[in-house]
Chain A
Amino acid sequence: MATASVSGSREKELWRRLGEVSDPELDEPVTEMGFVERAEITGDGSVEVDFRLPTYWCSPNFAFLMLDGVRKALDQLSWSPAYRVKLHDHMFAEEVNRGIEAGKNFGDIFAGLAGDEDIGALRETFSMKAFKRRQEAVLLGLRRQGLTDREILGMDLGAYDAARLGSGEMTSQKARYRAALVERFPSRRRGDPVFATWEGRQIPPAALDAYLAELRSVRINMEFNGALCRGLKQARYKELDVIDGEPTLVDFILDRVPERSAPVT
């Protein structure tokens, strides 16, 4: 029984770590997007992860960032297991999987595939977008709580931590915005303002509406990708469920195929 509980807690840890990896374009966890098709701990403690993106055509540089994130997540596991990460059904799956087996780092594998895109700059762009999207959610949430613009924009980190933002989604956005803020401005302390632009400027209350319009346009773009990826992913996974003797496409069209159940963490 002791073994079972060890493997249970390891499994939890594995999914928790994987849940910290975000799709950079969407700023949503890869586990929630369903990109981690399978994550298992074998008898000897090593880890196997099967990864699948919504389409065959997903941009290789985004794939790189996610797989790199997965690798880093696995490196942090408490029992330091050996691991194997496999990308499925992607136009560059073969190159990637061969590269991983040969022990190349992801940068080497994708250097030729991602074109002249500067991965560092891309990472920075995505961090900025995530920062703005989370900030918009929190600002709107605080407005809904009845706070004035002046009160919101005058908040310091201590007051922010103490503030209540309603339930569920808003609680998680609150924590996510805090993480993005501290990552961007590591020196912020309790008494420092919690709302600033990505460039570090204060936002005057009179300018908040215009600023929110800018944040909204960032979110609209990200949401488009998110909604599309979810739709595409679902369609693709359901297609893959079509096997002889199994549900057919007609079942799928009539919605007789149950959703793939999410891993319990």
Chain B
Amino acid sequence: MYRTPEGKDIFVVDGHTHFWDGSPENQKNIHGKQFIDCFYAYHTGLSPKEQLWEKGKFEKYSADDLYRDLFIDGPDDVAIVQSTYLRDFYKNGFNTIERNAEVAKRYPERFIVNGAFDPRDGEKALEYIHFMKETYDIKGVKMYTAEWNGASKGWKLTDPDAYRCFELCDKLGIRNIHVHKGPTIIPLSKDAFDVHDVDHAATDFQGLNWIVEHCGLPRLDDFCWIATQETNVYGGLAVALPFIHSRPRYFAEVIAELLFWIGPEKILFGSDYAIWTPRWLVERLWAFELPEDIRKERGVDLTPETKEKILGLNAARLYNIDIEAKKKALASSPFSIAAE
């Protein structure tokens, strides 16, 4: 719960968090080292100075760090913890569902654990989706289309194998498909993060929600166009939001574009923990106002009501979270008492 300076309580769903192991012991090869190094560069490049972590902690933080940063020091009520395997880079995987489920077990009220699959695994991918549904009752998955898999350096949401997987997700009620569409880095030729495949998949699977993480930046215009056409496409703010610190005017322009094109109901907060921690992001977002000229130019505003939607109400709707019931459950949990 985030209490605003005005004394209002805001329900916060952190739509994008991780519990990874990028430590040298787990790295399979140079790619594993370079992958976590790149994350660390994001962390150091866009965080306020007082929020910086040491490299060793960043590579592998503890479950206690996670709880504290999200729920005790941090304002999150519920965190969606995403899975990303990267088995070609890490011996035990980077951020598997087993690892996430283990950490979620201690405070199940607090976590929504999302799965992941690789359509290129064919039949095995389908079996794995069944397994995740039965074992963890997942409500969503994270898709990383630029993941390496043997000779393949990426895939598209529109691949026939991917469509078979989405059909199964639809059938099993795994409704929320988070798709990483972000900065152009390789393994990851630009093609792997092109957003146009979302357009087709969202049209063909109307029963699924497509949450485009990082809003497709640096292809914001393409993303806005698609999300405007498709009612079931949403934008996740991870990576875009930290610019609120280093380049606030730039963040204002991005959020104004999003509000203009896709509106306040379809934007989701996400810290991308542990790249960034949620507390400062939420505080800054709450305090943020659009500059006058940008507000006029686009005819939009970032009001407290809009912020409340972005911070929790929108994600709660997608994940069927009954906010009042959840507040009660959290208030009676020992975890919450320990946090007071």
Contact = CB atoms under 8 A, between A and B. Distances in A.
B41 A91 contact: no
A26 to B, nearest CB: 10
Interface string B277-304: 0000000000000000000010000000
B144 to A, nearest CB: 13
Contacts of A114: 189
Contact of A234 (B40, B45, B190, B219): B45
B63 interface: no
B79 to A, nearest CB: 25
A235 interface: yes
Interface string B111-132: 0000000000000000000000
A144 to B, nearest CB: 11
Contacts of A239: 37, 40-41
Contacts of B183: 224-225, 228
B190 A59 contact: yes
Interface in B141-190: 183-190
Interface stretch (A29-37, A50-58, A199-207): A50-58
A149 interface: no
A107 interface: no
A247 B80 CA distance: 38
A256 to B, nearest CB: 11
Given A54-B41, A91-B31, A236-B41, A227 B220 contact: no
B221 A217 contact: yes
Interface residues of B, number: 39
Contacts of A255: 49
Given A221-B221, A227-B243, A235-B40, A91 B186 contact: yes
Interface in A205-242: 213, 216-218, 220-225, 227-228, 230-232, 234-236, 238-239
B34 A231 contact: no
A217 B83 CA distance: 32
A232 B42 contact: yes
Contacts of A224: 183, 217-218, 220, 250, 254
Interface in B248-273: 250, 253-254, 257
A223 B253 CA distance: 11
A77 to B, nearest CB: 31
Contacts of B54: 249-250, 253
B186 A227 contact: no
A115 B191 contact: yes
Main SS class of interface, A: helix
Contacts of B185: 55, 57-59
B44 interface: yes
Contact of A221 (B52, B186, B187, B218): B218
Contact of B246 (A61, A227, A235): A227
Interface residues of A, number: 39
B188 A222 contact: no
Nearest to A92: B186
B184 A232 contact: no
A56 B38 contact: yes
A198 to B, nearest CB: 15
A117 interface: yes
Given A221-B221, A224-B218, A57 B38 contact: yes
B187 A57 contact: yes
A232 B41 contact: yes
Nearest to B44: A235
Contacts of B190: 59, 61, 117
B327 interface: no
Nearest to B43: A235
A231 B41 contact: yes
B3 interface: no
A27 interface: no
Interface string B211-247: 0000001111100100000000000000000010011
Interface in B193-226: 217-221, 224
B313 interface: no
Interface of A: 25, 54-62, 91, 114-115, 117, 213, 216-218, 220-225, 227-228, 230-232, 234-236, 238-239, 249-250, 252-253, 255
Interface of B: 31, 34-35, 37-38, 40-46, 49, 52, 54-55, 183-191, 217-221, 224, 243, 246-247, 250, 253-254, 257, 297
- Pairs of residues from A and B, 8 with the lowest C-beta to C-beta distance, nearest first: A231-B45, A57-B185, A235-B41, A56-B34, A217-B221, A235-B44, A221-B218, A232-B41
Given A221-B218, A239-B37, A253-B54, 12 more contacts: A55-B41, A56-B34, A61-B190, A91-B187, A117-B190, A220-B254, A220-B257, A223-B250, A236-B37, A236-B41, A239-B40, A252-B44
